[in-house]
Amino acid sequence: MASVPAAVYVILLCFCVTETVLSDKTRNVLILLADDGGFEIGAYLNKICQTPNIDALAQRSVIFNNAFTSVSSCSPRALLSERPSYEIPEGPCTWLSISFDERSIQVVVDGCCSSIIGKKHVGPASVYKFDYEQTEENNHINQVGRNITHIKLLAREFLANAKKDDKPFFLYVGFHDPHRCGHTEPQYGPFCERFGSGEEGMGHIPDWQPWYYQWDEIQLPYFVQDTEPARRDIAAQYTTISRLDQGVALVLKELEAAGHLDDTLVIYTSDNGIPFPSGRTNFYDPGLREPLIIASPLPNARRNQASGALVSLLDIMPTVLDWYGIKEQVEWESNDVWESDKPKSLLSILEKEPPYSDDEAVFASQTHHEITMYYPMRAIRTRRYKLIHNLNYGMPFPIDQDLYVSPTFQDILNRTRSKQPIPWYKTLKQYYYRPQWEFYDIRQDPAETNNLHGKPSLEQTEAELRERLLRWQRDSRDPWLCSPDAVMESGADDAVCRSLDNGLLHYHPR
């Protein structure tokens, strides 16, 4: 096992798996992951952004209306391992070599022909290892993440290899769209929307037919200010989403041409919220809610139906394991389990909608985005309420580099500096400075603007959510369990919080 800091050793996980046979038919998996993608999709009722291919996929799928990421920042590590993101990044979207043992994610694809095409942004390589890798580690990220013709050809090559080896496959396509171009390649536009467009100096992607949108006709989300710069920013985002949509179609056509449309579980989702204020890196719903579309080829699968189940991207790997017929048991060093809040397979939902339950909850954890963006947060969200714990609440909320240079954020800065009105639902000061606890009634306040923390009539509800969040942190071995007012020490049976007497109020697990 890799050497790891003692402070995080307690979160190491190992998979104990035994293989069982579900049927004689080969079962494969295709994961299509958008990078900072949101609900700018026709299937999610966006009437302006054109996504006919994702919409067509949704027509033979279950579309989840209450899916959430577990971390609002570069979440493929959590998606591929069903683990909260407690590791510390060494740079933007890369993770320190704090790993599982050799039986980790490799077990999921053991006996399969595994591939990752596009953006990987997980590590270490010894753990997240695929048989076929074409990523930013051996290509320019735009060529494997945005050049949909190249992506198509790579998928074709991999599928041919899998057929030659006569093995089931696990194919993970990490699109780089609609991630911002940011400060790295601004010549292609704020969202790289002109990369490969055929314009002079932009290169040409043969399979891409660009869609361009009028800034005054976009469908403005409530959390983005209604100004021309912000609207133009979203119009550029729409163009890259259309490129993503056409890329999805190309990969699905390769899947069909290889003869695997009727034996492959297809999952479309995104890693975190869109890169706008209150989106990516935030624990408000624009940062946590995700599109999730799952198509099962089984004859009894639901098609063109919506599910209201409350699910997490942490549920993806249990779903994949279940699809492959791998029985999985998660064990901690102390033999504790995650009780009722552990990640779960979603396969049963693809056949029948589960009973409605107000007790369902999803959890989120975040510590960094970029290395300088230390702002640890923990959250629990039920169907009605959300409780956010901002551990570093004394500091202003950090802004990532790509968002900072964006037209949307620069517009907010310029208007704030010049004391111009901002047609936005917050002020910049409110966005920067947040209380330690945020408690919202999502049903009555979907924009999350009325903090109910400490309200006497909801005291018991808030206390129950706080206890449940702390139990989830305890069971998942969160090193920040005792922060910000205590130091955690490992006791004989459980963590012990030792007070720092720093004047801060916290609620520790019993």
Q: Which of 319, 325, 277 is nearest to 431 (CA)?
A: 277
- Cβ atoms 151, 117 nearer than 8 A: yes
CB atoms within 10 A of CB 78: 26
143: three-class secondary structure by DSSP? helix
Alpha-carbon span 51 to 111, nearest angstrom: 35
CB atoms within 10 A of CB 4: 16
- Cβ atoms 118, 31 nearer than 8 A: no
Place of tokens 């912000």: 230
Alpha-carbon span 495 to 474, nearest angstrom: 7
Cα-Cα-Cα-Cα dihedral sign, residues 208, 134, 311, 319: positive
Cα-Cα-Cα-Cα dihedral sign, residues 9, 10, 12, 14: positive
Marked catalytic residue, from 49, 74, 93, 482: 74
Query: What are 198's two structure tokens?
Result: 């055929």
Q: Alpha helices of 21-86 — where are they, by DSSP H?
A: 52-59, 76-79
Backbone angles phi, psi at 388, to 5 degrees: -115, 130
CA 82 to chain centre: 12
Alpha-carbon span 506 to 509, nearest angstrom: 10
Q: At what angle do helices 228-257 and 52-59 cross, to 10 degrees?
A: 50
Query: What are 127's two structure tokens?
Result: 């753990």
331: three-class secondary structure by DSSP? strand
CB atoms within 10 A of CB 232: 19
Angle at 34 between CA 108 and CA 200, to 5 degrees: 135
Alpha-carbon span 28 to 7, nearest angstrom: 38
Alpha-carbon span 68 to 84, nearest angstrom: 13
Cα-Cα-Cα-Cα dihedral sign, residues 162, 172, 256, 168: positive
- Cβ atoms 483, 376 nearer than 8 A: yes
Question: Which amino acid is it at 355?
Answer: P
Q: Determine whether 74 is an active site residue.
A: yes
Alpha-carbon span 359 to 380, nearest angstrom: 12
CA distances (Å), origin 36, targets 74, 92, 269, 403: 8, 14, 10, 12
Catalytic residues: 74
